[in-house]
Amino acid sequence: MTFTDAISARILELLEIKNTNVSKLAIKAGINESTIRSVLSNSTKCPKVTTIRFICIGFDMSISEFFNSEIFKEDNLLDE
């Protein structure tokens, strides 16, 4: 899985864990729903750190909590 795929997978995982959806996340994060959807669909090949930061705000978590997942273990990631 590429790093971009891993970010998308983590967002989907958190949406399920937090029992929320993209629309609600966008409101809490203060960003456009289309921004989140472009990350999820991998239209954005390298999401900006600021975008990930706002998504973390929407999930009420730190950036380190976001990346503290098995999804981001080196063995799971491929070079893009």
What pLDDT, on a 0 to 100 scale, did the predictor assign at position 80?
56
What pLDDT, on a 0 to 100 scale, did the predictor assign at position 42?
87
SS3 27: helix
Q: Could you tell me the domains of the chain?
A: 3-73 (1.10.260.40)
What pLDDT, on a 0 to 100 scale, did the predictor assign at position 17?
97
- The rounded distance, in Å, linking the Cα atoms of 79 and 39 is 18
Mean pLDDT by 10 residues, the chain (80 residues): 93 98 98 96 90 98 97 80
What pLDDT, on a 0 to 100 scale, did the predictor assign at position 76?
78
What pLDDT, on a 0 to 100 scale, did the predictor assign at position 78?
78
What pLDDT, on a 0 to 100 scale, did the predictor assign at position 46?
86
